[in-house]
Structure 1
Amino acid sequence: MKQFWIVGLGLLPLVAGCSLFETNPVPPSPALTGVSAQDAAWKDQIKRVRGAEEARFEPLVEAREAVSAALAQQGVNDYDAASLEEAQQALDAAESGWAEVANKRRPNGDKLAAIATDAHRATRLAEIARYAAVREINLEKLVAVNDQLETREQSQPTRQARPVTGDARDLVGQKVVPDQLGEVSFQPGTARMKPASQEIVRQLAGLLERYPSVGVAVFGHTDNVGPSAASLERFVKANPKLEQQAPSQAEKVRAFNLALSAARARTVAQLLVDNGVPARRIGARGFGDTRPVASNDTQAGRQANRRIEAVIVPGPDSPEAQRARAENAGS
């Protein structure tokens, strides 16, 4: 079973760039003080190449490359088309500004600063769009492997939890929450974690600290029961796009449960970050009521379906992730 997980998860740079908290993966443009220093800095970014029709402005070159990479990234339009569109608009603005000064021997420093600002914005948004697509695709691969593993486990007459011991390779594939560390639970209908569960998440953070080469994927699940009618309507009104679709009652409940499970997974991830786990080692996703493990017709079944699962996966610096990056770069 361990090999099955390693093969499946070796495809993932997963947890590298998988985090929902890494919202600004592109370093900001360098800050300088003084008008003359700023002008000089931007002019230093202009590279005049012999034989070329026009000079190169480095921030603009970086923006072009970032947007091109985002456009080529599989799934980017499915997962973050808005950021990609904004990146393209910012790049267009930078291109327009550069066209006005490209052939001038001494371009205006303020104009260059404006171009650089648009270019850095294009780069940042393009990278966000690309990383969002990579993150979601990797999580989908992980979910597929997890579903296969659960099918295998359900076919076994008995299942004994393995203790959280051994080396990092032994840990990969273990569902440490709830199987080893215990259940993580929340106040009904909210993403407010119960105090006792916070200690379990801190134990998980300690485990990740002891094994720096691994990461964790956090999955949130709910039963199929929605909140009170008033809470459900508040949720719908707070989401204009959902309200515009005129959803049925069942669709409203499913949307609420999906949002709730995602919020709970993010709460766990954020508490891990608060306890020192680098965000790049964490992935988080909610599935609402789409992955039940028991019947929703009984109270016990519904309680079993309301759960957080935390699965240990190869971390961004693990040999598996490094091999995957090398294979992707060579393909």
Structure 2
Amino acid sequence: MKSFWIVGIGLLPLIAGCSVFETNPVPPNPALTGVSAQDAAWKDQIKQVRGGDGARFEPLEDARDALDSASAEQGVENYDAQALASARQALDAAESGWAEVADKRRPSSDRLAEIASDAHRAQRLAEIARYTAIREINLEKLVAANDELQSREPVQQPAGEARPVTGAARELVGQKVVPDRLGEVSFQPGTARMKAESQAVVGELAQLLSQYPSVGVAIFGHTDNVGPSAQSLERFVAANPRLEQQAPSRAEKVRAFNLALSAARARAVAQLLVENGVPARRIGARGFGDTRPVASNDTEAGRQANRRIEAVIVPGPDSPEAQQARANAGS
């Protein structure tokens, strides 16, 4: 049993975005158009270095810097070693390609495009690894803070009525603004497709974060303990071979499904916040599945209460609290 949950936790980065939950994939990088413009763009990024070792290629320089920053980030090997390893592989490919063309007077624009593509992939994966480590380290603290909030007296308010969020940024920290103040975020059953009315709530949250740039937000996803249909559950297991190899019981499959579904929903909220202009570095997202109910799962009302998204305001990455924490970690 213990090995099953170790594997389950390790699968989360994969299954959280599984197509079983019908989420939108991360959009690809926009393609350049116009051959002449593309040729000029690549060649403009080749800089001759006087007194140095020849030319340098700016996308490659950016990728090296990103990988250096990611490698230096505390905990990155623990939280997203796969992205970091992929970033290193992409950078190696870019370095090898550049070594082949660096001394040529007129390198092929197609080859430069390939090198730049590898370099951009390395940079993107390195940044993902770095920000994942930052978020996960912070989220460990946020989970404890959220547990404390859950233990307090719940805020009483009329059903369906949202309360305005006001005050200084410091006063907002620790407030559970979703659902307590801005309203509920809900999804189509068994999926991470957000309901239209909930998108407006996330939009209000984005406006709040824009109004208070020194704070961040932790998004927590929760489900009830009811699993999907047998067909959906088997699709989920089939999409995750490592899970299937553990030969889990149906109850274990349901718990793994709910854990992944809650993570996918939290990430869907985070993605919509980014689309509304909130920097990703100010957002953390995590799913807890059915492990933290707030009501009994024996009634429909209780199950509905347990199917929830919570958004807690936290100190942002550039806040005095965060800067002090980084200083303490480095001392």
- Give the TM-score of the pair, scaled to structure 1: 0.72
Amino acid at match of 2:54: A
Match of 2:293 in 1: 292
For the structure 1 residues 299 and 97, does the alpha-carbon distance in structure 2 shift closer, same or farther, using more than 3 Å as the test?
closer
Aligned CA distance change for structure 1 residues 205 and 288 (closer, same or farther; 3 Å) = same
Q: Secondary structure at the match of 1:176?
A: strand
Q: Which amino acid letter does the alignment assign opposite residue 63 of structure 2?
A: A
**Deviation, structure 1 residue 79:** 3.2
Matched, 1:57 2:60: no
**Which residues in structure 2 correspond to 1:66-105 (within 5 Å)?**
66-100=66-100, 104=103
Q: Write out aligned runs for 1:143-158 (5 A).
A: 143-151=143-151, 153=152
8 A Cα contact 2:216 2:283, kept in partner: yes
Q: 1:48 to 1:87 in 2, by over 3 A?
A: farther
Q: Percentage identity across aligned positions?
A: 68
The alpha-carbon deviation at position 66 of structure 1 amounts to 2.8
Deviations 1:101-153 (A, max 9, x none): 55x474735555544443333223222222222222222221122223334x1
Alignment coverage as a number of residue pairs: 301
The gaps in structure 2 that reach 5 residues or longer are 1-23, 158-162
**In structure 2, what is the equivalent of residue 5 of structure 1?**
none
Contact preservation (8 Å) 1:39, 1:109: no
1:216 corresponding residue in structure 2: 217
Conserved in 2, the CA contact under 8 Å of 1:218 and 1:310?
A: yes
**SS in structure 1 at match of 2:284:** strand
Number of the residue aligned with 1:108: 107
Distance 1:118 1:310, change over 3 A: closer
Q: 1:198 to 1:144 in 2, by over 3 A?
A: same
Greater shift, 83-92 or 71-80, is seen at 71-80
CA 270–123 in structure 1, closer or farther in 2 if over 3 Å, else same: closer
In 2, the alpha carbon distance for the partners of 1:113 and 1:186 equals 41
8 Å Cα contact 2:206/2:278 also seen in 1: no
Give how far 1:171 is off. 1.4
CA contact (8 A) 1:80 1:133 kept: yes
Matches of 1:263 and 1:112, distance apart in 2: 37
Aligned match of 1:204: 205
Per-residue CA deviations over 1:143-197 (Å, capped at 9, x if unaligned) read 122223334x1xx6x7667963322221111112222334333343333444554
- Provide the secondary structure at the position in 2 that maps to 1:74: coil
Task: Give the secondary structure class of the aligned counterpart of 1:219.
Answer: strand
Q: Which one has a bigger Cα radius of gyration?
A: 1
What CA distance in whole angstroms lies between the structure 2 residues aligned with 1:208 and 1:94?
37
Q: Deviations over 1:182-239 (max 9, x none)?
A: 4333343333444554554444344445444433222110122211212211222233
The whole-number CA distance in structure 2 between the counterparts of 1:176 and 1:193 is: 18
**The residue matched to 1:120 in structure 2 has which SS?**
helix
Structure 1: any 5+ residue segments left out of the alignment?
1-20
Q: Which residue of structure 2 aligns with residue 303 of structure 1? A: 304
> Does residue 45 of the first structure (1) align with residue 44 of the second (2)?
no
For residues 176 and 282 of structure 1, the distance between their equivalents in structure 2, rounded to whole angstroms, comes to 14
Work out the CA distance in 1 between the residues paired with 2:117 and 2:195.
Answer: 44
Structure with larger RCO (C-alpha < 8 A, sep 6+): 1
Distance 2:193 2:123 in 1: 36
Deviation of the 1:36 alpha carbon: 7.1
The equivalent residue for 2:36 is: 33
- Residues 272 and 116 of structure 1: is their aligned pair in 2 closer, same or farther, counting only changes over 3 Å? closer
| TM-score relative to the length of structure 2 | 0.72
Cα distance in 2, alignment partners of residues 146 and 118 from structure 1:
40
C-alpha contact 1:232 1:252 (8 A) present in aligned 2: yes
Residue in structure 1 matched with residue 126 of structure 2 by the alignment: 126
Q: Tell me: CA distance 1:32–1:214, structure 2 relative to 1, closer, same or farther (3 Å).
A: farther
Q: Aligned letter for 2:191?
A: T
State the match for 1:173 in structure 2. 174
C-alpha RMSD over aligned residues: 4.0
Question: Within 1, Cα distance between the matches of 2:104 and 2:273?
Answer: 53
Deviations 1:238-258 (A, max 9, x none): 334433443321221012101
- In structure 1, C-alpha distance between the alignment counterparts of 2:112 and 2:202, rounded to whole Å: 48
